Structure 1
Amino acid sequence: MKNIEHTNRRGFLKLATLAGGGLVLGFSWVKAEAIGSTVASGAIIAGADFNSYLSISPEGIVTILSPNPEVGQGIKTAFPIIVAEELDADWSKVVVEQAPLDTKKFERQVAGGSGSIPHSWERLRKAGATARMMLVEAAAKRWNVPSSECTTENGFVAHSGSNRKASYGELANEAAQLAVPTNVKLKAIKDFKLIGSTIRNVDNPKIITGKPLFGLDFYREGMLFAMIQRPAFGYKLKSLNAEAAKAMSGIVNVVTFDNNVAVVGKSTWQVKKAKDALKIEWEKADALESTADHNRIFKELLDGSGATVRRKDGDVETAFKNAAKVVKAEYQCPFLSHAPMEPMNFFAHVRPDGVELVGPTQTPELARNETAKLLGITPDKVSVQLTRMGGGFGRRLKADYVVEAVQVSKLVNAPVKVIWTREDDMTGGSYRPAVRYRFEAALDAQGNMIGYKLRGASINAGNSTREDNFPAGAVDNLLIDSVDHKSPITTGPWRAPITNFLAFAEQSFIDEVAQAAGKDPVRFRLELLDKAKQKPTGAIKYDIDRMKGVINLAVEKSGWGKKKGADGKPVAQGFSVYFSHRSYVAQVGEVVMQKGKPVLQKVYSAADCGVVINQSGSQQQVRGCIVDGIGHAMYGNLTFKDGVPQQKNFNEYRLIRLNEIPEVDVHFVQNEIDPTGLGEPSLPPAGGAVANAIFKATGKRLRSQPFAEQEEFKGIS
Structure 2
Amino acid sequence: MADISKTNRRDFLKLAATATGGLFIGFYWSGCDSPKMQVLSNEEILAKVTDFNSFLSITPDGDIVIYSPNPELGQNIKTSFPMVVAEELDADWARVRVLQANLDTDKFERQLTGGSGAMPHSWERLRKAGATARDLLLTAAATRLEVDKNSLTTEKGVIYHKSSGKKLNYGEVVLDAAQLEAPEEVIFKDPKDFKIIGTPIKNVDNKDIFTGKPLFGLDFYREGMLHAMVQRPPFGMKIKSVDDSEARNVSGIQEVFVYDNNVALVGSSTWPIMKAKKLLKISYEPEGNVESTADHDRIFKELLDSKDARVMREDGNVEVAFKNASKVITSEYQCPFLSHSPMEPMNFFAHVKEDHVELIGPTQTPDSARVQTADLLGIPKENISVEITRLGGGFGRRLRADYVLEAVQISKKMNAPVKVTWSREDDMTGGAYRPAVRYRFSAALDVEGNMIGYKLRGVGMNAGNSVRQDNFPSGAVENVLIENVNYESSVTTNAWRAPITNFLAYAEQSFLDEVAHEVQKDPVKFRLDLLQKAKSSPVGSVNYDVDRMIGVIKDVAEKSNWGKNSNVKQGFSVYFSHRSYVAQVANIEMENNQPVLKKIIATTDCGIVVNPTGANHQVRGGIVDGMGHAMFGNLTFENGLPKQKNFDSYRLIRMKEVPEVELHYVDSGYDPTGLGEPALPPTGGAIANAIFAATGRRLRSQPFVEQKEYSDMNLEIRRG
- TM superposition score normalised by structure 1: 0.92
The equivalent of 2:665 in structure 1 is: 668
AA aligned to 2:370 is: R
Q: Determine the C-alpha separation between the residues in 2 that align with 1:146 and 1:355.
A: 54
Q: Determine the C-alpha separation between the residues in 2 that align with 1:141 and 1:243.
A: 79
Offset from partner CA, 1:591-645 (integer Å, 9 cap, x none):
1234544332100000000000000000110000000001000000000011110
The equivalent of 2:59 in structure 1 is: 57
The equivalent of 2:292 in structure 1 is: 290
Contact 2:548 2:668 in 1 (8 A): no
Q: Report SS of the residue matched to 2:525.
A: helix
Displacement, 1:178?
Answer: 2.6
The equivalent of 1:10 in structure 2 is: none
1:199 alignment partner, one of 198, 201, 223: 201
Q: Report SS of the residue matched to 1:212.
A: coil
2:246 alignment partner, one of 230, 244, 247: 244
Displacement, 1:173?
Answer: 3.1
Displacement, 1:182?
Answer: 3.5
Offset from partner CA, 1:574-603 (integer Å, 9 cap, x none):
000000000000000011234544332100
Point out the more displaced range, 596-605 or 218-227: 596-605
Q: Determine the C-alpha separation between the residues in 2 that align with 1:595 and 1:411.
A: 65
The equivalent of 1:444 in structure 2 is: 446
The equivalent of 1:652 in structure 2 is: 649
1:387–1:478 distance in 2 versus 1, CA, 3 Å:
same
The equivalent of 2:688 in structure 1 is: 691
1:463–1:576 distance in 2 versus 1, CA, 3 Å:
same
- Please show how residues 443-462 of structure 1 align to structure 2 within 5 Å: 443-462=445-464
Q: Determine the C-alpha separation between the residues in 1 that align with 2:250 and 2:413.
A: 20
1:408 alignment partner, one of 407, 410, 416: 410
AA aligned to 1:556 is: E
2:23 is the alignment partner of 1:48: yes
Contact 1:465 1:482 in 2 (8 A): yes
The equivalent of 1:127 in structure 2 is: 129
Q: Determine the C-alpha separation between the residues in 1 that align with 2:638 and 2:278.
A: 22
2:469 alignment partner, one of 467, 470, 480: 467
Q: Determine the C-alpha separation between the residues in 1 that align with 2:378 and 2:696.
A: 61
The equivalent of 2:107 in structure 1 is: 105
Contact 1:50 1:176 in 2 (8 A): no
Contact 1:459 1:484 in 2 (8 A): yes
2:212 alignment partner, one of 210, 213, 216: 210
1:632–1:142 distance in 2 versus 1, CA, 3 Å:
same
The equivalent of 1:700 in structure 2 is: 697
The equivalent of 2:530 in structure 1 is: 528
Q: Report SS of the residue matched to 2:186.
A: coil
2:628 is the alignment partner of 1:631: yes
Contact 1:596 1:716 in 2 (8 A): no
Count of residues in Structure 1 that have an aligned counterpart in Structure 2: 669
AA aligned to 2:598 is: Q
The equivalent of 2:144 in structure 1 is: 142
Contact 1:394 1:495 in 2 (8 A): yes
Q: Determine the C-alpha separation between the residues in 1 that align with 2:292 and 2:629.
A: 21
Point out the more displaced range, 146-155 or 429-438: 146-155
2:708 is the alignment partner of 1:711: yes
Q: Report SS of the residue matched to 2:673.
A: coil
Displacement, 1:100?
Answer: 0.6
Q: Determine the C-alpha separation between the residues in 2 that align with 1:317 and 1:573.
A: 35
2:182 alignment partner, one of 174, 177, 180: 180
Q: Determine the C-alpha separation between the residues in 2 that align with 1:590 and 1:115.
A: 32
Offset from partner CA, 1:232-288 (integer Å, 9 cap, x none):
101111222223322322222223221111111111112211222222222211111
Offset from partner CA, 1:52-75 (integer Å, 9 cap, x none):
231112221111111111011111
Q: Which stretches in structure 2 are left out of the alignment for 5+ residues?
A: 1-17, 27-53, 715-720
2:341 is the alignment partner of 1:366: no
Q: Determine the C-alpha separation between the residues in 2 that align with 1:397 and 1:686.
A: 24
Q: Determine the C-alpha separation between the residues in 2 that align with 1:183 and 1:175.
A: 16
Q: Determine the C-alpha separation between the residues in 2 that align with 1:462 and 1:638.
A: 20
Contact 2:21 2:174 in 1 (8 A): no
- Please show how residues 135-534 of structure 1 align to structure 2 within 5 Å: 135-534=137-536
1:75 alignment partner, one of 77, 101, 126: 77
Point out the more displaced range, 167-176 or 115-124: 167-176
Contact 1:255 1:411 in 2 (8 A): no
Q: Determine the C-alpha separation between the residues in 2 that align with 1:508 and 1:219.
A: 49
Displacement, 1:377?
Answer: 1.2
AA aligned to 1:575 is: F
- Please show how residues 86-101 of structure 1 align to structure 2 within 5 Å: 86-101=88-103
The equivalent of 1:578 in structure 2 is: 575
Q: Determine the C-alpha separation between the residues in 1 that align with 2:544 and 2:75.
A: 24
Contact 2:21 2:175 in 1 (8 A): no
Displacement, 1:50?
Answer: 1.5
Contact 1:408 1:416 in 2 (8 A): yes
Displacement, 1:163?
Answer: 2.4
Q: Report SS of the residue matched to 1:227.
A: strand
Offset from partner CA, 1:86-143 (integer Å, 9 cap, x none):
1111001111101111112211011100000000000011111111111112212222
Q: Report SS of the residue matched to 1:670.
A: coil
Q: Report SS of the residue matched to 2:188.
A: coil
Q: Determine the C-alpha separation between the residues in 2 that align with 1:438 and 1:297.
A: 14
Q: Determine the C-alpha separation between the residues in 2 that align with 1:372 and 1:87.
A: 40
Q: Determine the C-alpha separation between the residues in 2 that align with 1:348 and 1:622.
A: 35
AA aligned to 1:433 is: P
1:597–1:336 distance in 2 versus 1, CA, 3 Å:
farther
The equivalent of 2:601 in structure 1 is: 604
The equivalent of 1:641 in structure 2 is: 638
1:589 alignment partner, one of 576, 586, 590: 586
Q: Report SS of the residue matched to 1:71.
A: coil
Displacement, 1:46?
Answer: 9.3
Q: Determine the C-alpha separation between the residues in 1 that align with 2:153 and 2:316.
A: 60
Point out the more displaced range, 685-694 or 180-189: 180-189
AA aligned to 2:276 is: A
Q: Report SS of the residue matched to 1:474.
A: coil
Q: Report SS of the residue matched to 1:306.
A: coil
Point out the more displaced range, 256-265 or 591-600: 591-600
Contact 2:315 2:539 in 1 (8 A): yes
Q: Determine the C-alpha separation between the residues in 1 that align with 2:444 and 2:456.
A: 12
Point out the more displaced range, 316-325 or 250-259: 250-259
Q: Which stretches in structure 1 are left out of the alignment for 5+ residues?
A: 1-42, 564-568
Q: Determine the C-alpha separation between the residues in 2 that align with 1:200 and 1:271.
A: 39
Contact 1:360 1:387 in 2 (8 A): yes
Contact 2:233 2:284 in 1 (8 A): yes
1:46–1:200 distance in 2 versus 1, CA, 3 Å:
farther
Q: Report SS of the residue matched to 2:97.
A: strand
Contact 1:53 1:127 in 2 (8 A): no
AA aligned to 2:229 is: M
Q: Report SS of the residue matched to 1:128.
A: helix
Displacement, 1:664?
Answer: 0.4
AA aligned to 2:214 is: P
Sequence identity (%) = 64
The equivalent of 1:537 in structure 2 is: 539
1:595–1:259 distance in 2 versus 1, CA, 3 Å:
farther
Point out the more displaced range, 135-144 or 704-713: 135-144
Q: Determine the C-alpha separation between the residues in 1 that align with 2:225 and 2:171.
A: 41
What do you get for the CA RMSD once the two structures are aligned? Answer: 1.4
Q: Determine the C-alpha separation between the residues in 1 that align with 2:175 and 2:353.
A: 39
Q: Report SS of the residue matched to 2:185.
A: coil
AA aligned to 2:190 is: A
